[in-house]
Amino acid sequence: MNQSELAIAVCGCDRPAYFRQCIEALAANEGLVDVHVFLDGAKPEVQEKQATDAVQVLFQRCQSLSIHRQTKNLGIGRHLIGVRELLLSDLPYRYMLLIEDDCIIQPHFVGLNCRLQDWAERELDNVGVTSLWRRCVRTREEKATMLGCVTIGNPHWYSYLMPRWCWQTIRPDLLEYRDRFLADKPYANRPHDAIVAWIKEKFQGFAYPEGPRIVPSSLYANWHLGTWYWVSSQDAVTAAAVYSRGLVKLFTYVNRCVNVGKHGAHFNPELYRTNKLDQVNQDVFDEDAGLADFTFCQFDGPPE
């Protein structure tokens, strides 16, 4: 992948401490080209600090830095859908790498995700999204034996790389979700029951993907859309829209980032611990600087 075709999107709102960690981690990556920082409508002084931090940390580390500020709070759903609309509909990028502000990436992260995307495009025809996040709680020694292992599923969408063609494929569903259910409501007040009913009606009736163009069927043993715990977030709608078209989300078994978001729209310290995010270590491997070959693996149970 030519990184001039890639837009890196950092998305934040009103969490300046997380945001600073996020962009400092991004700045440690080599070869950054176009970075776009998206700031939802927080308090003006907080947004100004985040914009200033972005310039101080990233300006000398990338070829182009763009900062997009919202004058009012859109909420997570409308904000992230708008990010994809701008980068993958309005602007001519072929790929978008999205990083949320509580996601702390590793120094080889950007290049490795690009190489994973290249591998997926060579080997498969149904990968809609690639990612380097998984809630991997194995030891460093165990991780070192499985650096090239990939699998499929639906771990959290803290960071992911999406091609333009995938966004254009699922775009009508996400715009319907946005316009029908989010409108000008605060994201926290979205009509959960109505959204879940809509998701089930719209997406749950399709045949689960199978066949030679899909990865080995054993990888699906513990993963089926019919058993989802349905939620009303834009991530859930994105995942359902991807899978409903026979596409999959491919990700490395070993995490190359960690989530530090103990406080946010969907998390508090108790949920953070319950989801074992405090047990995921940031183990960095020099091999990731050139890793370009991957293998489908199935280990002990579901990927997430």
The answer to whether 136 and 255 are in contact (CB under 8 A) is: yes
> pTM for the whole thing?
0.92
- The count of C-alpha atoms lying within 13 angstroms of the C-alpha of 41, restricted to the half-sphere facing its C-beta, is 9
The answer to whether 157 and 304 are in contact (CB under 8 A) is: no
Span 186-215, average pLDDT: 73
User: pLDDT > 70: what percent of the chain?
Assistant: 88
At 101 the pLDDT is: 95
| Residue 215 pLDDT greater than 50, yes or no | no
User: pLDDT > 90: what percent of the chain?
Assistant: 67
The vertex-247 CA angle with 276 and 76, nearest 5°, equals 50
Query: What are the tens digits of pLDDT across the range 70-112?
Result: 988 899 999 999 999 999 999 999 999 999 999 999 999 999 9
Q: Which helix (H) or strand (E) holds 9?
A: strand 6-12
Q: Return the higher-pLDDT residue of 262 and 114.
A: 114
pLDDT band at 206 (very low <50, low <70, confident <90, very high): low
Composition of the chain by helix, strand, coil, percent to 5 = 45, 20, 40
| Residue 304 pLDDT greater than 50, yes or no | no
| Fold topology of 3-296 | Spore Coat Polysaccharide Biosynthesis Protein SpsA; Chain A (3.90.550)
| Residue 285 pLDDT greater than 90, yes or no | yes
The vertex-263 CA angle with 259 and 269, nearest 5°, equals 85
At 183 the pLDDT is: 86
Q: Per-domain residue ranges for the chain?
A: 3-296
Distance of CA 137 to the CA centre of its chain: 19
Query: What are the tens digits of pLDDT across the range 28-77?
Result: 999 999 999 999 987 889 999 999 999 999 999 999 999 999 988 899 99
What number of H helices and E strands is found in the chain? 9, 11
Average pLDDT over the chain reads 88
pLDDT band at 228 (very low <50, low <70, confident <90, very high): low
Query: What are the tens digits of pLDDT across the range 118-146?
Result: 999 999 888 999 999 999 999 999 999 99
At 229 the pLDDT is: 59
Most confident residue range from 16-20, 47-51, 109-113, 265-269? 109-113
